[in-house]
Every structure is written in structure tokens, then in C-alpha cells.
Amino acid sequence: MKLHDSKAVMLVAISTLFAGLSVAQAEVSKETLESISIPDKVKTSIGTLEFFDGVPTDATISKIYDNLDRSRAVQVYLDNVGGVSINSVLDGLAKAGADATHKVAVFEQLMNSQTLVVTANTSTLYAYSGTNLEKDGPTVPGKSWFTILRMYGPLEPWINKTWRPGEIELVK
């Protein structure tokens, strides 16, 4: 029995292995390649975004982050405009004398475009009273006037409830 050179045996084994394999050629149309490729430039509402081999340039990355920051700032504004509106209304009413929980400001006329209330409508008579839980403590509305009581938390949408006369009970 002859011993063969191990390098030669290994070379023959690898050659035999690869001889049986054939290289696969993908047949993809030019249209398909173009449809899945990222173009070098894309026109958008925030300007032209540029890419090199599918990778965004530094200017494009900066532009996208600026847009993300702007979008988040707009969302913060929209989330808080109701709270700013009602606080402005309550500050104005306090200056007019309705500066405590037991003082109610009743508008004698319908609102119009000249009224400085951001979220009011023009078909409702309004009566406002603010509650300061830090100053007044827990507040339970009584059954005095024949009105509809509306609780609204402009920054907490889950505080959104209306009560009619008779639905409120005095808690002692």
C-alpha cells in the first residue's frame, strides 16, 4: 500500500467536489432590478434625498432627522393646544371675577369669531368654572342649577364625561 501526499489527495478531492457543481446564473430582468433598486435621488416634500449605492448621504440623513424633529414638534403642539386654550380661558375669566371654584362665568351671548376662545363653537351658551384641586381639594359638584355638567381634561382624553340633572349625587 502506497501513501500518497496528503496535499495532492486533498486537491483531487476538492477538484472532484467542484467538478460536479455548476454556477447558478440568476436571470432577472432589467425592469425587476430597477423596481427594487434605490435611485440616486428621490424628490420629496422635504427636498431631494440623495443616495449612493442605496446608502443615504450625510446631507440626506440630516434632512430626514430635521423632518423627524419638526414632525414631533408639531405633534407636541397639537397635543397641548386644548390645554393652552382652556387655561387661557380660565385665566381670562379669573381676571373678570370668576377666580374661584364657586364663581361661575356665564356668557350672555353666543360666541363668534371675535371671542378669544380657541375651541369654542358658535351655537352654545357657555358657563365656565375652573377647579384647582391643589387649592380647593377634592371637588364634588352639587345639584344646584339645572345645567349639564361637563368634565373635560384637555391633556387627558379619558377625562371626558357629561352628566345631566339628577345623575349627580351629593357625597357626604
Q: Which residues of 128-167 are buried (b: 16+ CB within 10 A; e: fewer)?
A: bbbeeeeeeeeeeeeeeeeeebeeeebeeeeeeeeeeeee
The answer to whether residue 160 scores a pLDDT higher than 60 is yes
What is the domain partition of the chain in residue ranges?
Answer: 28-139
Strand 55-56 relative to strand 160-163, pairing = unpaired
Q: What is the pLDDT of residue 143?
A: 47
**Extended beta strands in the chain, E state:** 41-44, 47-52, 55-56, 105-106, 127-128, 149-152, 160-163
pLDDT tens, position by position, 105-140: 887 788 887 776 666 777 777 777 777 777 777 666
Q: Does the predicted TM-score (pTM) go above 0.75?
A: no
Contact 170, 140 (CB under 8 A): yes
